Amino acid sequence: MVAAMTGTTDQTTFPARAVGATAADAPLAPLEIQRRALGPKDVRIEIRFCGVCHSDIHFTRGDWGPVPYPAIPGHEITGIVAEVGAEVTRFAVGDRVGVGCMVDSCRECDNCREGDEQYCLSGNTQTYGSMGRDGAPTQGGYSDRIVVDEDFVLRIPEALELDAAAPLLCAGIATYAPLRHWGAGPGSQVAVVGLGGLGHMAVKFAAAMGAQVTVLSQSLSKQEDGLRLGASDYRATSDAATFEELTGRFNLILNTIGAAIDVGPYLMLLKTNGALVNLGAPAEPMSVPVFPLLLQRRSFAGSAIGGIRETQEMLDFCAEHGIVSEIEVISADGINEAWERVVSSDVRYRFVIDNSTL
């Protein structure tokens, strides 16, 4: 098929194998899709691994709004460069690379110029579910190949294995960026709410940055893991004593729960000037009591992934500090079971698809 819409008329689109959904309530199943023809600045990547983010489930099941089915999720992609366009300067065939949640942005707005493409004022192009350059919805990494503009491709340091590095492309940067923005480091007390994909990365990063880390989990069932990952304290939120004993303890709380929570009791755990940063993305609104904010100048904030420059910085930080994700590698036909386990908080701590099994 000639890809007339891309403006690269001498190229054809690429067929790709994938697993995806054709409806909100349909199980994921094998599909064939077309990747756009290689533009001059594009890189074609043979995908080796793709992490399973809770956002994949929210999106595909329609939690966040209408979905352009068929939908292929996946935005924690690692692989090998297989082909480069004529004007690509930063990558060569054989390079170890990654792609996260974004594949394009306007490049011109104030936020893009600052390197915060995730906050592009025109809206960035997401790896899946956005409108792509070829006029078709973008399709994610539960697939064997993808074509991406080189400006949105990351370099995976040699020290990091491609499977355990895949979750860094979303869970990694989504926790690294707010820890940096809110200044986690020596002398700061950080709490991580929810020990799942994002949560376990937050614990590792905050500890590596020198902060004192407490995990706030539904139960103590993962306490040993939390302490091994770098936390010095681990509490169950099902125990009312947790909220009494930790009042006023934290400079920063990262909430990674994907469901709406009662925010008030968590705000009371912040010190004066402390911030509760919501990373979880439930569809339902959450109500916020204002007095805990007013009385100690506390903040309730949000944060979305990070820019391309900061994502590369995070990957290099991981190589320097020996940080990767704790993963369970699955074959493509295990994806529906993996999703059910994520939904029931039964993940330790990220499922990663071996894309050679597609």
Q: Is residue 170 within the footprint of Zn ion (CB under 5 A)?
A: yes
3-state secondary structure the chain: CECHHHCCCCCECEEEEEEEECCCCCCCEEEEEEECCCCCCEEEEEEEEEECCHHHHHHHCCCCCCCCCCECCCCCEEEEEEEECCCCCCCCCCCEEEECCEEECCCCCHHHHCCCHHHCCCCCEECCCCECCCCCECCCCCECEEEEEHHHCEECCCCCCHHHHHHHHCHHHHHHHHHHHCCCCCCCEEEEECCCHHHHHHHHHHHHCCCEEEEEECCCCCHHHHHHHCCCEEEECCCHHHHHHCCCCEEEEEECCCCCCCHHHHHCCEEEEEEEEECCCCCCCCCCCCHHHHHCCCEEEECCCCCHHHHHHHHHHHHHHCCCCCEEEECHHHHHHHHHHHHCCCCCCEEEEEHHHC
Which residue lies nearer to Zn ion by CB, 298 or 350? 350
Give the C-alpha distances (Å, rounded to integers) separating 288 from 198, 261, 264: 23, 10, 6
Q: Which does 127 bind (CB under 5 to 8 A by kind): ligand NAP, Zn ion, none?
A: none
CA–CA distance, 133 with 111 (Å, rounded to integer): 21
Answer for which of 197, 230, 292, 307 binds ligand NAP (CB under 6 A) is 197
- List 11, 296, 299, 345, residue binding ligand NAP (CB under 6 A): 345
Query: Is residue 283 at the binding interface for ligand NAP, with CB under 6 A as the rule?
Result: no
Task: Choose the contact partner of 120 out of Zn ion, ligand NAP, none; CB within 5 to 8 A by kind.
Answer: Zn ion
Q: Pick the closer one to ligand NAP by CB: 34 or 334.
A: 334
Distance separating alpha carbons of residues 61 and 331, to the nearest angstrom: 21
Beta carbon nearer to ligand NAP, 129 or 196: 196
Which of 58, 180, 249, 271 binds ligand NAP (CB under 6 A)? It is 58
Count of chain residues binding Zn ion (CB under 5 A): 8
Quick check: 109 binds Zn ion (CB under 5 A)? yes
- Is the Cβ of residue 158 or residue 284 nearer to ligand NAP in the bound state? 284
Residue type for 104, please? D
The residue length of the chain stands at 358
**Residue 307 binds to ligand NAP (criterion: CB under 6 A):** no
Q: Please select the residue that binds Zn ion; options are 31, 37, 120, 231, rule is CB under 5 A.
A: 120
Q: Which of 57, 106, 236, 304 binds Zn ion (CB under 5 A)?
A: 106
Choose from Zn ion, ligand NAP, none: what does 109 bind? Cβ within 5-8 Å by kind. Zn ion
Q: Does 254 interact with ligand NAP (rule: CB under 6 A)?
A: no
- 339 phi and psi, to 5 degrees? -60, -45
Binder to ligand NAP among 6, 8, 13, 55 (CB under 6 A)?
Answer: 55
Residue 256's nearest CA partner among 169, 172, 179, 175 is 175
Q: Does 55 bind Zn ion (CB under 5 A)?
A: yes
Q: Does 127 bind ligand NAP (CB under 6 A)?
A: no
Position among 37, 53, 253, 318 found at the interface with ligand NAP (CB under 6 A): 53
Q: Which residues between 61 and 90 bind ligand NAP (CB under 6 A)?
A: none
To the nearest whole angstrom, how small is the minimum distance from the Cβ of residue 300 to Zn ion?
22
Residues in 134-173 at the binding interface with ligand NAP, rule: CB under 6 A = 170-171
Q: Is residue 235 a contact residue for ligand NAP (CB under 6 A)? A: no
Residue written as token pair 């939120």: 237
Q: Which does 105 bind (CB under 5 to 8 A by kind): ligand NAP, Zn ion, none?
A: Zn ion
> Should residue 305 be labelled a site residue for ligand NAP when binding is judged by CB under 6 A?
yes
What residues make contact with Zn ion under the rule CB under 5 A? 53, 55, 105-106, 109, 112, 120, 170
What residues make contact with ligand NAP under the rule CB under 6 A? 53-55, 58, 170-171, 174, 194-199, 217-218, 222, 256-259, 279-281, 303-305, 342, 345, 347
